[in-house]
A and B are shown apart, each in its own frame.
Chain A
């Protein structure tokens, strides 16, 4: 089925560990983004990309890295996990700003 696929769905990390959240889309979308969702905060933009090889920071980029080597994939790396990064992470993709974004089902991350 066409859409945005995120893995894993759940993850528990210890403080200081690193990991990569995977995101893949098969709709040939150029635009891809990562958001985090915290209670009462809505969704906040972490990093985004407007095409392969192009990435930029969003509202809350500290502690996260991204790369975009292909149109399909946009992984999010946590360099050294902290309890403040406990959140639900959503990846999204779009043709562009007038089309709306398609969201993945999310990754629930807990850092202990």
Chain B
């Protein structure tokens, strides 16, 4: 079975400083991994995805994530936070073989950005 653990429920950074949102996964198969962002009272937007190609994945708005199989991690980073990055971020694993590609969500990390 697949599962996702987001290690921090809330992260607070100052504008201009780096962002690190941590995610560990468990999967019996080579997983597809995603990061989604949700701004307040909005739907979910795909930030980036890993599907067994390059282990360093670049996404939108300057975010990137590195797939580390040995650590079963897929942490999301950004070199310099912007006020507009304040949102909730979800690490997601695709369910793998037999799951019809259904998504399994972590519980989310709320990112606050201080001026």
A31 touches B100 (CB 8 A): yes
- Total A-B Cβ pairs within 8 A: 64
Q: Which residues of A contact B95 (CB under 8 A)?
A: 97
A103 touches B43 (CB 8 A): yes
A26: Cβ under 8 A from any B Cβ: no
A90 touches B43 (CB 8 A): yes
Interface string of B92-115 (1 = CB under 8 A from A): 001110011111111110000000
- Complex Cα–Cα for A104 and B45 (A): 9
Q: Size band of the B side of the interface?
A: 20 to 34
- Complex Cα–Cα for A25 and B65 (A): 29
Nearest-CB residue, chain A, relative to B103: A101
Nearest-CB residue, chain B, relative to A106: B43
B49: Cβ under 8 A from any A Cβ: yes
A100 touches B49 (CB 8 A): yes
A45 touches B43 (CB 8 A): no
Contact partner of B100 among A35, A97, A100, CB < 8 A? A97
Contact partner of B94 among A50, A97, A103, CB < 8 A? A97
- Give A contacts to B, CB under 8 Å: 31, 33, 35, 40-45, 48, 50, 56, 58, 90, 92, 94, 96-106
